[in-house]
Structure formats: C-alpha cells, structure tokens
Chain A
Amino acid sequence: EDQVTQSPEALRLQEGESSSLNCSYTVSGLRGLFWYRQDPGKGPEFLFTLYSAGEEKEKERLKATLTKKESFLHITAPKPEDSATYLCAVQASGGSNYKLTFGKGTLLTVNP
C-alpha cells in the first residue's frame, strides 16, 4: 500500500525565515510525486511534479527536490502570503490507474 508521511504537521516562521518541509513516501514504483498548496476552504493548487531522484523544480520562493525515499519543499525568504497547507502526493507507476495518495499536509504560517 502506498504511503505518504509529511512533517512537521505545522510550522510557524517569521517573514524571511527560510525552512523546509518533508515528505517521506513508500510506493511500488513511482510515476510521480506532486506538491500542492491548499488555502482554507479551497481546492488544492498544483505546484510541482517530480519524476525521478535528483530532480529539482523551482517556482518563485519554492523549490522542490526528490530522492528515492523523500521529497523536500524548500521555502526561501517566505512572505505572509505563503501561509497555507502544503500537500504532498504520490502516484504509482503501472497500468492506467492515475490516482493520487496524499499525505496529511503541513500547515505553514508565516508571520509578518
């Protein structure tokens, strides 16, 4: 069974204080690992897809990296508007099943 564990559950940062969120996963063959951002009462917003170990992707203050067992979402000099829940999900390879298995998320709060 595919499993995704995110840590920490919650993280408070001061504006400008860089940090990283962790996503550990076990999957029977990885097709892709996905990062989403979710604001309260909204649907998740797609951020990144990572396909293979060593891959990195960046978007503004966010950078996602991938190893064979975990992924990190690095947040550089965060701003209050980066406050949200960040979700990690995996998709197993093989067949035509494209379903995602999500972690519980990390609630990030950035104080001004």
Chain B
Amino acid sequence: GAVVSQHPSWVICKSGTSVKIECRSLDFQATTMFWYRQFPKQSLMLMATSNEGSKATYEQGVEKDKFLINHASLTLSTLTVTSAHPEDSSFYICSARPLKNTAYEQYFGPGTRLTVT
C-alpha cells in the first residue's frame, strides 16, 4: 500500500519551454501533497505544499509564477515548470500524506529527472 507514482520519470526540454510533471497517489487519498527538488548529493528541499482544492503554499525563495502547482483531486497534483532554464535542471520528487488523521508520514514518488538544454 501507499504507492505514489510520477510521470514522466525523466524529461529533456529546451530552454524557454514548459514541462508538466504529474504526481498520483495510487491506493490512497491525499489531501496534502508536497513537491521537493534534490540536487546531486544534496538532501531534499521542500518547494511547496499543495492542498486539494486550494492554492499551494510556496517556501521562501521559490517563484510561484515559475513553478505552477495544481491539486485538482485527492489523488493528483501537477507541477509545471514554466519557461524552463538550465538552472532548473534537477530531480523533482513529490510526496503525499494519507487522508487518515493519525498518519503523519509522507510517501514519496520515484522522482522526475528534468534536464533543460
């Protein structure tokens, strides 16, 4: 149980284009999903918290107009990197918190490797 998927697993795009990454909780409902990015040999840095049906909360220093987050249902959140540049190349990982009140842990997707050329 507690499986989270991401699509695509890797993507290469040209500078200036936009890329959408999907995050789905496959066997549970999640009111809250999180988006992280991870640089090589670095830990996970939280970018934003996404709640179903409401606007995402972005961490300090994260441009909300560049990283658009939509959480349309209890099982799907999307991250769109707009006008991507090479410095946006990174490993993007989502996580989901189960709906049960007593569960505080988050379950992570397999990640999406984004390369901007």
Q: A43-B93, A43-B109 are in contact. Are A98 and B44 (CB under 8 A)?
A: no
Q: A103 is contacted by which of B43, B105, B108 (Cβ under 8 Å)?
A: B43
Q: A98-B104, A99-B34 are in contact. Are A42 and B43 (CB under 8 A)?
A: no
Chain A residues with CB below 8 A from B25, complex form = none
The CA of A106 and the CA of B44, in the complex, are separated in Å by: 13
- Whole-angstrom distance from the CB of B5 to the nearest CB of chain A? 10
Q: B104 is contacted by which of A36, A45, A91, A102 (Cβ under 8 Å)?
A: A91
Question: When the two chains form their complex, are residues B110 and A42 in contact, meaning their CB atoms are under 8 A apart?
Answer: yes
Q: B105 is contacted by which of A34, A87, A99 (Cβ under 8 Å)?
A: A34
* Binary flags per residue of B6-44, CB closer than 8 Å to A gives 1, else 0: 100000000000000000000000001010000000111
Question: When the two chains form their complex, are residues A44 and B104 in contact, meaning their CB atoms are under 8 A apart?
Answer: no
Q: A41-B111, A41-B113, A99-B49 are in contact. Are A32 and B42 (CB under 8 A)?
A: no
B→A interface (CB under 8 Å): 2, 4, 6, 32, 34, 42-44, 46, 49, 91, 93, 95, 97, 104-111, 113
Q: A34-B106, A87-B44 are in contact. List 13 more A-B contacts (CB 8 A).
A: A32-B104, A32-B105, A34-B105, A43-B4, A43-B111, A49-B104, A91-B104, A98-B104, A98-B106, A99-B49, A100-B106, A102-B43, A104-B42
